[in-house]
Structure 1
Amino acid sequence: MTETHAFTVKARDGAARIGELRFSRGTVRTPAFMPVGTAGTVKAMFPETVRSTGADIVLGNTYHLMLRPGAERVAELGGLHRFMNWPLPILTDSGGFQVMSLASLRKLTEDGVTFRSHLDGSEHHLTPERSIEIQRLLGADVTMQLDECVALPCPDEEAERAMRLSLRWAERSKAAFGTDPARALFGIVQGGTVPSLRLASAEGLTAIGFDGYAIGGLAVGEPQDVMLKTLEETVPALPEERPRYLMGVGTPEDILLSVLRGVDMFDCVMPTRAGRHGQAYTRFGRVNLRNARHAADPRPLDEESECPAARDYSRAYLHHLIKAGEILGAMLLTWINVHYYQTLTAGIREAIAAGRLADFAAQTRAAWAAGDLPARD
């Protein structure tokens, strides 16, 4: 990396490390959780509220912004940062996940992928070069290569085919990106859960040379233990001096266990999606505010939380909002969840710096296992 977007490892505790990924718009403290702002918004949250949780970076999506409002329009309006009123770094997903999730609406070739829009049926052709162009128009600080993500489980032959295609697309993405001292380009390791394929992907990407390395194609159907084993086999093959980003992961426990295996960056829709469905993530684990046990409970969700939504509103009120379908319920629970994810990663960083991550992990998991506070009599 150049001086305008540099990654520095500050401390280590076993395989885990804390670091800083610096851009002109701000510094991303790692391990970092990136709230997902797929269509230019972290759902049910104001940008300033997202920032107040401690988030240093958010994620946008090439495919969705390509369809609506269009990358060229966003560029004309000053770029995605200005468009969504987020002055800090933004990472944009390349559209590779939609190659899997929208399989019924796309056609895949060596050249790229043709999508039929889920909005109006219009046809859009996304190549590695066009994906890079869209992300540049959006103004992303971290650009992702276009790749093919496959659902798991899948035959080894299918995993290898997609991995080899992703490597060829990685070369084209790097060529299209060129040299841009203000932005970073990440390659994406694929290969299913086959160790030899993951290693071949990591080696191929390292030979091409990227500013960071993402691990894609996990948390797409495989059990947690399989995901963790794949990380243990893949992470050591990635360059020490570059950030490692586990895409689309995941639960608080997934994040904690992945940090222990050397991962630096995460994103997931889970905290925002759960918030819209009445679920809260807390130091007690996940709490279902739809449950009738909360209907007459005057206590806050967590009186010790620094998040006003968790500290200043009663469980009874949160339960009422969710049951009544009020928008405020989704807003408050999403705020609680994103804040908890940021609190967790901040605690992880502090524990690594103190050399006590194993103790922190054990205590945190024990608290989750103990569960929510009992209902008041």
Structure 2
Amino acid sequence: YMAPEMLGGRTSRLSERTDVYLLGAILYEIVTGAPPHRGEALMELVSSIVDSTPVIGDDVPPTLARIIRRAMDREPDGRFESAEQLRLALQGFLEHRHAARIADRARERLAELDALLAASSGDPEAREAIYRLFGECRFGLRHALEVWPTEETRQELDRAIGAMVEQELSQGEPEAALALVSEMTTVPEALAKRVADARRDRQAEEAKLRRLHADLDPRSGRRVRGSIALIVGVLWVAGPFLSHAALALGLVRLTGPLNASVATAFLVIMGGLGLWARESMSRTAINRRIGAGALLAIAVQVVTGLTGHWLGRDPWQVVHEQFVAFTVICVMLALSVDRWLWACAASYAVGYAVIPLVGMHDLFLVMGACNVVTLAVALWIWWRPARSSEADRPQGSPDSFSP
């Protein structure tokens, strides 16, 4: 039954904890049926005393085995401080044997959980097993704490919860990790900081996604956008037909400066409407893209009209080539805004091909027809869906007809 410090040395290390060792050795023999130190020769016996690693079979309750191992710890500081503490530990085990068995089974599940977490690859089956083991472990340790509250069991419950906090963080679930942290008695400062940082990052990411969703929401500013589209569209449609009539009656003659002047006036009107509705039209990416596309189309007319006049080109040919620019602009908007705008791109492409067949004198009639298609598509996209969702939109919302 000898304790390691009883073998002697320069300074005596004998203390009350030596008595604890001796009591633990006697308890070991009572439980296993044999003394802890055995050997055929003196040196074998001395070696067993120095090593002091008692072998306890699996048939011994784990809680009792831990009491024996702690009492027979090689280092005095690792043992119970007094025989009274050892007695209280044994008394607690005897009085709460049922709770001890539950806690022991929970510790077995905790060991399985640790192993599974270490080897987990994140597949659904492994996740299911992890949560099942954690549930069993947490339930067992909590029940044991209700019946027999010990610091060891409380620490093991915190360790089990802490392991699951790490798991939730690795899976990108800071809210679940935060809920688990609230169950811990003692939260390591580093773990609490990681959870707080992960939650802050998640909230920032969600806020960014909300802003992105709002920026791409076609419903935002739909009424204002549709109203401006109607005003501009009517002018866009009426302009070519009025130009055709004025040219046919000989009231005007098509020139580059005239074409640029009409486009400039149109650009001023669009700019005024855009300034009036700037808050609504700049609120989302869709509104900004549509506004930029419309301004680009008018700017093309201004630039090509003046450039063609400066180069001495035929103004009819310049206007004809503007169909190509309109087609490209509609393709860009169809790719970035709405697929229905492919119809606009197709109409301008067909118009460009048809003009040589019908003659340049009908150029503005063809342009007007293409603009009618553009206006119809715009109204289809921006007004018809708005009416279908009218009942769901509160009165006075930012989507109302007010800039």
Q: Per the shorter chain, which TM-score range?
A: under 0.3
Q: Which has the higher helix share?
A: 2
TM-score, length-normalised on structure 2?
0.19
TM-score, length-normalised on structure 1?
0.20
Of structures 1 and 2, the one scoring higher in RCO (CA 8 A, sep 6+) is: 1
Q: Which has the higher strand share?
A: 1
